[in-house]
Structure 1
Amino acid sequence: MADKSIVLVTGGNTGIGYETVKALYASFDAHVVLMGSRSLDRAHAAIEKLQSEVSQSQSEVVPIQIDIEDDTSIEKLNQEIESKYGRLDILVNNAGGSYDAVMSEKPTVAGIREAFDHSYSLNVTSTHVLTSTLIPLILKSSQPRILFVTSGLSSLDNCSNARLPTLAAPIPKGWPKPPVLSQIAYRSSKTGLNMLMLEWQRFLKVDGVKVFCISPGFLATNLAGIGAEKLRQMGAGDPSLGGALIKHVVEGKRDADAGKVINAQGVQPW
């Protein structure tokens, strides 16, 4: 076990999380990949699929239950990793969600509050709680890394310059404004996640922990409930691109960019 890095990927049974686990499992480097999932049944099904897609591996994938919005689940996870492995080398904070559709379903103040509260609870607060809980195990690693999966939508520069098609449409005068696919609650929470990464980098630099935000790009996942196929029609890339990027960071190929938001092209503007 000492020669294999212990990697936890939250939300690892689907989307970019699954592709990250798959990329690590297919890697020439040896890992013990903990596939975090709210449901162990879904994790087992995902691992069965993974092993049918990757026939040979130096690594192992272990299902592990984690709901990052449940403190009891977080503490149970912490105890399980400590008892089985004694340390955690890399934490990939991938679990997240988009709840902006609630504001279309409930075009009221209550809808706004629900969408924002859930977005921040999952994408920021719960991610911070999980990271805080696991820090003692991470500090036992000889090459510790923490990754936060963010978004191109988190960039103030990208959004203020209307580089995103959904933000370039003209806005009519008056109120109420017509609904747009602006993902404002999701975007805001991911911008908050970037700040969270920056603070963890400040906290842990003296301990030798490398901290990153990863911006995988516009990929065809089911994150916003739009559907992978429709996103592909809109130009989204394959989720495996995100998995490959995260694998590179996990395996130390982007260490020079620690403390930044990085994407496949380089450093994402803030």
Structure 2
Amino acid sequence: MADKKVALITGANKGIGKEIARQLGVQGFTVLIGARDAGRGAEAVADLTKDGIEAQAIQLEVTDQASIEAAVVKVEADYGKLDVLVNNAGVYFESGAASETDIETFKKTYDTNVFGVFAMIRAFLPLVKKAEVGRIVNMSSGLGSITQNSDPNWAFAAAKPVAYNSSKSAVNAITVIFAAELKNTPIKVNAADPGYVATDLNGNSGYRTVEQGATAAVRLATLPADGPTGGYFDEDGAIPW
């Protein structure tokens, strides 16, 4: 069991998270399906198992510290380490301009997209340190790029949901700071942009598939020892902060 690589993906019962789990599972990882709803997590596991993937459901609500701590206890008891943590769980609530966004929407967005990411890294880092080679992947978005948001000619220049975009900018900052703290360890921390993928988050309006959207995250989760850390990547390479 100690030789088997273990990956935990939050929000993995559907969409990009489930596809990340599938692609890592195909590569031989034991994948832990983090899901708020235990039943949906079990359904995802059943589906992945049909493909010969070793998977286990973990009930996990990233906005609930007790849930996170219980998940840490479970993973440590079952596996003793965590090779890969993919912070994929995310929310999007907005429908209007920044000036029309209420503070509660802002808080709810940050609870999952920012505080949840920080809480997960902080809680699971001791288990990642127990792995021979640890990888932490934070699912960001091109909408989190301040450089791209500042470019009126950018393809998504009109997309300015203030809570969502700024939450992903914060995820990028968290990525850089943890990467700097861990720079003298084998652990690599990076942010992934999946692109505009058709998911429940955007009402399935995206033009990319979940298979395409998972590509960057899976690559960052399986980086070699000389791979980058503290970076921000889509499937084609580095993108501007």
Distance 1:159 1:255, change over 3 A: farther
Tell me, yes or no, if structure 1 residue 218 matches structure 2 residue 196.
yes
2:215 to 237, 244, 263: 244
- Match in the other structure for 1:23: 23
On the 8 A contact 2:33/2:44 being kept in 1, the answer is: no
On the 8 A contact 1:69/1:121 being kept in 2, the answer is: yes
Distance 1:265 1:161, change over 3 A: same
Larger Rg: 1
Deviation for aligned residue 1:182: 2.3
On the 8 A contact 2:48/2:55 being kept in 1, the answer is: no
C-alpha separation in 1, matches of 2:225 and 2:60: 27
Moved more, 122-131 or 43-52: 43-52
C-alpha separation in 2, matches of 1:76 and 1:202: 28
Tell me, yes or no, if structure 1 residue 140 matches structure 2 residue 118.
no
- Secondary structure of the equivalent of 2:108? helix
- Match in the other structure for 2:14: 14
C-alpha separation in 2, matches of 1:3 and 1:255: 21
5+ residue gaps, structure 1, are 169-180
Tell me, yes or no, if structure 1 residue 60 matches structure 2 residue 50.
no
1:71 to 65, 80, 87: 65
Deviation for aligned residue 1:22: 1.2
Deviation for aligned residue 1:244: 2.7
- Match in the other structure for 2:115: 125
C-alpha separation in 2, matches of 1:39 and 1:32: 20
Residue deviations 1:156-194, cap 9 Å, x none? Answer: 1111112445535xxxxxxxxxxxx52221000000110
TM-score w.r.t. length of structure 1: 0.83
Q: How many residues align?
A: 240
CA RMSD of aligned residues (A): 1.9
Deviation for aligned residue 1:248: 1.9
Residue deviations 1:90-114, cap 9 Å, x none? Answer: 100101111213x58xx86xx5201
1:256 to 217, 227, 231: 227
TM-score w.r.t. length of structure 2: 0.93
Distance 1:165 1:72, change over 3 A: same
- Secondary structure of the equivalent of 2:200? coil
Percent identity over the alignment is: 32
On the 8 A contact 1:124/1:192 being kept in 2, the answer is: yes
On the 8 A contact 2:194/2:215 being kept in 1, the answer is: no
C-alpha separation in 2, matches of 1:202 and 1:266: 20
On the 8 A contact 2:19/2:211 being kept in 1, the answer is: yes
Deviation for aligned residue 1:255: 5.4
- Secondary structure of the equivalent of 2:198? coil
Distance 1:162 1:258, change over 3 A: same
**What code does the residue aligned with 1:186 have?**
Y
